[in-house]
Amino acid sequence: MKRWQAAGALAAALGLGGCGSLPSLPPVQLGNPPLASPGAPTPIKTDAQITNALVDLVQAKDHFKVDLSQVQQGTPVGDILFLGSPIGYQLRNRYLTIGVPLAEALSRNGDPVFRERLINLARWDSDGETRAAALVALAGARDAVHFDVFREALMHLDPAVRFGALEALLIWDHPEKSLPLFSRAADTDTEPILRVYAAMALARAGEDAGRMRLRAFLDHNSWLVRAMAAQYLGECGSAEDYDLLVSRIGREISNDFVVAEYCIAALKLFPKKSP
């Protein structure tokens, strides 16, 4: 669900929450990056039939969308719509959205030919869901050489692509390069839920600025933004956030999802309280 050439300079100037200056970023490199960094393990070549089939599936995935208006009760697909357990939701998401199993398949294929196609999908595919899945799959290699692929995706107009880039940067796990991008997204992305997610990424990395942003999002006019901020504070917050969240439980009268997230987050933070 991002405009980044000045990310390093802006992030260094922020100085929020006592997190200090964030590392500056190198200039953007044009053209596709190498398939892997020098000295990295050589990708394992796999059966071309598998690689070609995966590429065909990704490029034709719009043909596999499930039309929910045509689903009938009493059929396997109809039954899956009413599964309410965590595993049920997982199955519903996996088999109603082809991008979910495709993303898993993409991340498991290390063939060098496929890696090049994956980079092209991440950079140039016209479908936002496909690009996002390719970005997440590429991040699984955790190779620093792919940095510019993620950075340019954060400039895309499609929020789905930008969100995929943020998710990919978390998986990629190179904080020295990703923190300035998270900081910029948390402040300037046009989509509030992307700003919340970027703030969570900062908080997860131990940046006080991320927690400060999450606390501020608790006052947002969107209930979804407030709920997400509460969830992430429960994961990345400190003992002081326990009292903050508990104090808001009785004040939240507009949405029960938000109240539930306040309660869950407070329960997670309760062990951090001083006796």
User: Tell me, what's the pLDDT at 133?
Assistant: 85
The architecture (CATH level 2) of 174-275 comes to Alpha Horseshoe (1.25)
Taking residues 37-53, report their average pLDDT: 71
User: Tell me, what's the pLDDT at 187?
Assistant: 96
User: Tell me, what's the pLDDT at 11?
Assistant: 33
CA proximity to 159, closest of 196, 132, 188, 123: 132
Contacts with 28 (C-beta within 8 Å, 6 or more apart), sequence order? 5, 148, 151, 152
104 confidence band (pLDDT: 50, 70, 90): confident
Instruction: Render pLDDT for 13-24 as a digit per residue (tens, 0 to 9).
Output: 323 333 344 444
More confident residue, 12 or 29: 29
More confident residue, 9 or 23: 23
* pTM of model > 0.95: no
Taking residues 41-62, report their average pLDDT: 76
Q: Any idea where the domains of the chain sit in the sequence? A: 45-173, 174-275
Taking the mean position of all CA atoms in its chain, how far away is CA 65? 22
More confident residue, 132 or 106: 132
41 confidence band (pLDDT: 50, 70, 90): low
User: Tell me, what's the pLDDT at 128?
Assistant: 86
Instruction: Render pLDDT for 206-263 as a digit per residue (tens, 0 to 9).
Output: 999 999 999 999 999 999 999 999 999 999 999 999 999 999 999 998 899 999 999 9
